[in-house]
Amino acid sequence: MKASGNTILITGGGSGIGRALAHRWHDAGNRVIVTGRRRDMLEETAAGREGIFVHEFDIADAEAIVAAAAAILATHPGLNVLVNNAGTYNGENPRHKRDLGDAERMIVTNVLGPIRLTNALIDHLSTQADAAIVNVSSGTAFVPYPASPTYSASKAALHSYTAAIRPLLEGRVEVIEIVPPQVQTELTPGQSQDPNSMPLAEFADEVMALLHGSGDRSPAEICVERVRDFRNAERSGSFDALLAMMVEYTPKG
Ligand X SMILES: NC(=O)c1ccc[n+]([C@@H]2O[C@H](COP(=O)([O-])OP(=O)(O)OC[C@H]3O[C@@H](n4cnc5c(N)ncnc54)[C@H](OP(=O)(O)O)[C@@H]3O)[C@@H](O)[C@H]2O)c1
Q: Which residues bind ligand X (CB under 6 A)?
A: 11-12, 14-18, 36-38, 41, 58-60, 85-89, 109, 136, 138, 180, 182-183, 185-187, 197
- Residue pair 212/1 in contact (Cβ under 8 Å)? The answer is yes
Instruction: Indicate the residue among 85 and 218 with the shorter CB distance to ligand X.
Output: 85
161: annotated active-site residue? no
41 Cβ partners below 8 Å, 6+ apart? 14, 15, 19
Alpha helices in the chain (DSSP H): 16-27, 39-46, 62-75, 101-107, 113-125, 149-169, 200-212, 228-231, 233-236, 239-248
List the one residue out of 2, 82, 88 whose CA is nearest residue 34. 82
Packing angle of the helix pair 39-46, 16-27 (nearest 10 deg) = 30
Instruction: Indicate the residue among 1 and 128 with the shorter CB distance to ligand X.
Output: 1
List the one residue out of 187, 197, 195, 227 whose CA is nearest residue 210. 227
Instruction: Indicate the residue among 251 and 253 with the shorter CB distance to ligand X.
Output: 251
Shortest Å distance, C-beta 188 to ligand X: 8
Q: CA-to-CA distance for 191 and 187, rounded, in angstroms?
A: 7
153 Cβ partners below 8 Å, 6+ apart? 107, 144
Furthest-apart CA atoms within the chain: distance in Å: 53
Instruction: Indicate the residue among 128 and 152 with the shorter CB distance to ligand X.
Output: 152
**Antiparallel, parallel or unpaired: β 221-222 and 173-178:** parallel
Instruction: Indicate the residue among 90 and 93 with the shorter CB distance to ligand X.
Output: 90
Catalytic residue among 89, 151, 161, 249: 151
Shortest Å distance, C-beta 247 to ligand X: 18
Catalytic residues: 151
